[in-house]
Amino acid sequence: MNVETSQTEQTYLIKLSGRLVFSDHGEFRHLLNQITAARVKACVIDLAELQSIDSSGLGMFMVALETGKEHGWSLTLRSPRGHVKALIELGKFDRLLTVED
């Protein structure tokens, strides 16, 4: 996966591109620590440029949701496209997580 991050006072914005898969697990965990360390109230993960995702990648969003609950920040997934959007809908992840168009 490729990651671009930016931060405003309240929100941590992460733009993911490429693919989010099994082997990205370590890096994604590290990202979650960064969000928590930034002491923001909200995290938005922009998926518009994310080409593909596997089941481990979807699992990472669930881990992010739990981590946010624990440390007081909310999680929003934004603009999933194509295959990523299809998989989010297939597993009804859009009902477990906040997903914006």
Number of residues that bind other proteins (CB under 8 A): 22
Do the Cβ atoms of 56 and 22 come closer than 8 Å? yes
Q: Which of 1, 31, 43, 60 binds other proteins (CB under 8 A)?
A: 60
Q: Which amino acid is at 88?
A: I
Two tokens at 16? 């993911």
Which residue's CB is nearer to other proteins, number 44 or number 58? 58
Kindly tell me the sign of the dihedral angle through the C-alpha atoms of 8, 24, 70, 61: positive
Site residues, other proteins (CB under 8 A) = 19, 21-22, 51-52, 54-56, 58-60, 62-63, 66, 82-83, 89-92, 95-96
